[in-house]
Structure 1
Amino acid sequence: MPGATFLEGDVVELCTVESEDAAFLTEAVNDPAVRQSLGVADPRGRQHHEEWIEEEVNGGDGITLLVVADGDPVGVVSTVWIADRNGHAILSAWIAADAHGEGYGSDATATFIEYLFDEKRMHSVRAEAYETNEASNALLQSIGLDRVGTIPEGAFVDGEFVDSHVYATTADDWRAQRE
């Protein structure tokens, strides 16, 4: 059962992550369609996710929210790094395989970016997507992030090294696109 609604998008809610969400996280993250795009090579059991929720989500420096559609968890959006002094955040998002193609990732990511700019006073936001993850590359471009670089062979996916594309936007550019 998802936690309290923290942010509302057009089609998703971004909710607090609760210990009960460990079962969903375990199922979704172990799915090859999700774990390969996250760079997860090892199996992750429920205990791992319970500890992650306790230590990282509830006790870490980042922000992690459960993406919820029609009352059901469908993914996660989070900051993997925040530099408050510089006003910069790196974000990550994933959607469970059975919820792909519904617009949940776009809505969740855009809603989260707006929060980072409007409430956390970030000046810029960055994300990465492996070159093999066409959906994530398209999503980041479609919501208004610019591809600003490539890390050559920056990830090991499905037995080979692949490039990792870097996307970013500033608060001013983000707001200008939405006017």
Structure 2
Amino acid sequence: MPGATFLEGDRVDLCTIETEDAEFLTEALNDPEVRVPLGIAEPQNETQHEEWIEEEVSSDDGFNLLVVAGDEPIGVINSNWMSERHGHAVMSAWIASDAHGQGYGTDATTTFIDFLIGERRMETVRAEAFAFNEKSNAMLQSIGMERVGTIPNWAFVDGEHHDSHIYAVTADQWRNRD
């Protein structure tokens, strides 16, 4: 069962990640439809995810939230790098393959950016997607993030080097988007 609801979107809730969620993380992140677009090349087991929850999720270095539709965990959204001084955050997200194409990632991302800009006073939010990950690139552009650059040959995935696209949105752009 997911942890406490921290943020409510239109279609999903963003909840605390609990130790019990390690099983979901293991199943989802070993699925090729999820791990390949994320550039994960090694198998991950439940113990590794329990350690990640203990070390990363429980630290004060950022936000890690479980994306939940109904009562079911379907993904993770986070910002593991934030500069309160400069007002910048880097965010990332993934959705389990059986929940793709239903607008959950879009709702989770817009809800999270609303929080980062509205409650954490971030001036700029940045995200990144491998060039071959067409769905993520399209979603980031559709919500008003602007592609501001490309890092060539950034990741070695599935036997090839791939570019990574960098996206950003300022607080003013976010508030004034269509």
Instruction: Indicate the TM-score class for this superposition, using the shorter chain for normalisation.
Output: over 0.9
Is 1:63 the counterpart of 2:63? The answer is: yes
In 2, the alpha carbon distance for the partners of 1:157 and 1:145 equals 24
Matches for 1:143-162 after TM superposition, within 5 Å: 143-162=143-162
Aligned mates of 1:7, 1:83 — CA distance in 2: 21
The number of aligned residues is 178
Normalised to the residue count of structure 2, the TM-score between the two structures is: 0.98
Aligned to 2:77: 77
Structure 2: which 5+ residue stretches go unaligned? none
Q: How far apart in 1 are the matches of 2:64 and 2:91?
A: 10
Read off the aligned partner of 1:117 and give its amino acid letter: I
The equivalent residue for 1:111 is: 111
Offset of residue 40 of structure 1? 1.1
What is the distance in 2 between the residues matched to 1:155 and 1:141?
21
Deviations 1:127-146 (A, max 9, x none): 00001100000010011100
Q: CA deviation at 1:60?
A: 4.3
Task: Give the alignment's TM-score, normalised by structure 1.
Answer: 0.98
Q: CA offset at residue 80 of structure 1?
A: 2.6
Equivalent AA in structure 2 for residue 6 of structure 1: F
Q: Any residues of structure 2 matched to 1:118-129 within 5 Å, and which?
A: 118-129=118-129
Q: Residues of 2 paired with 1:156 and 1:33: CA distance? A: 16
Counterparts of 2:114 and 2:8 in 1: how far apart (Å)? 11
What is the CA–CA distance in structure 2 between the aligned matches of 1:4 and 1:35, rounded to whole Å?
26
Instruction: Supply the distance in 2 between the matched residues of 1:18 and 1:80 (Cα, whole angstroms).
Output: 17
> Which letter maps to 2:137?
N
Q: Percent identity?
A: 65
Instruction: Note the alpha carbon deviations across 1:60-107, whole angstroms, 9 max, x for none.
Output: 401000000011000000013111111100000000011000100000
Query: Structure 1, unaligned stretches of length 5 or more?
Result: none
| Match in the other structure for 1:30 | 30
Shift of 1:161: 0.4
Q: Which amino acid aligns with 1:81?
A: W
The 10-residue stretch of structure 1 (51-60 or 122-131) with the greater mean CA deviation from structure 2: 51-60
SS of residue matched to 1:43:
coil
